[in-house]
A = this chain, B = another copy of it.
Amino acid sequence: MSRRAQTELAVLGGLSIEPMTGYALRAAITETLGHFWHESFGQIYPTLAALEKAGLVERGEPGLTSGSQFAITSTGRQRLYDLLSAPIEPTPPRNALLLRLFFGRLLEPAGCRSLIAEVQQRATRDLESYAAFRAELEHADDPNAAYMLLTVAAGEHSARATLSWADEALAILAKIN
């Protein structure tokens, strides 16, 4: 599965929930998938155009007050299922924080500690937003809610892992010298 197809998956997936404009799609991806996915306009509009050409989405007549609503077609839905079923190709890792810490001797423990403090703050903030999202999902009457919860849970476990790692990391740094 080409990486190009990943954007297709996100777009078709979004439209499978409900039809919307390209602009709204981008907003939905940012708000709802923002913790684990990202698309820019420069990807979304060309992808929508290509999907339309291939008959996987349909563009509704633009209304007076808004743009064209894009809707997924039945072949589009089939394509979405195929994309979901395709094996995941692992992407090469690139963790800028760990790259810095690996060569952290030049930064001295103090420099490393400030890097760690940053991710602690971020993880703490993330946990709050996950908690809010989880509460929403648990009261939602949506057949997708359980699946969405899987992604929220992933974020929570990951953020808690970050916090417990940070504790260990600070302990390791404290022992230097």
Q: Footprint of B on A, CB under 8 Å?
A: 6, 9-10, 13, 16, 33-38, 77, 80-81, 84-85, 88-89, 91-107, 111-112, 115, 118, 143-144, 146-151, 153-154, 156-158, 160-162, 164-165, 168-169, 172-173, 175-176
Contact = CB atoms under 8 A, between A and B. Distances in A.
A55 to B, nearest CB: 19
Copy number in the complex reads 2
A81 B106 contact: yes
Contact of A101 (B98, B151, B176): B151
Contacts of A96: 6, 88-89, 91
A152 to B, nearest CB: 10
Given A37-B93, A94-B38, A106-B84, A172 B157 contact: no
A13 B103 contact: yes
A149 to B, nearest CB: 6
A138 to B, nearest CB: 11
Given A81-B106, A161-B157, A169 B144 contact: no
A162 B157 contact: yes
Contacts of A158: 158, 161, 165
A151 to B, nearest CB: 5
22 contacts: A9-B103, A16-B106, A36-B94, A37-B95, A37-B99, A38-B92, A38-B94, A77-B106, A84-B104, A84-B106, A88-B100, A88-B115, A91-B96, A101-B151, A102-B148, A112-B147, A153-B165, A153-B168, A153-B169, A153-B172, A154-B165, A157-B162
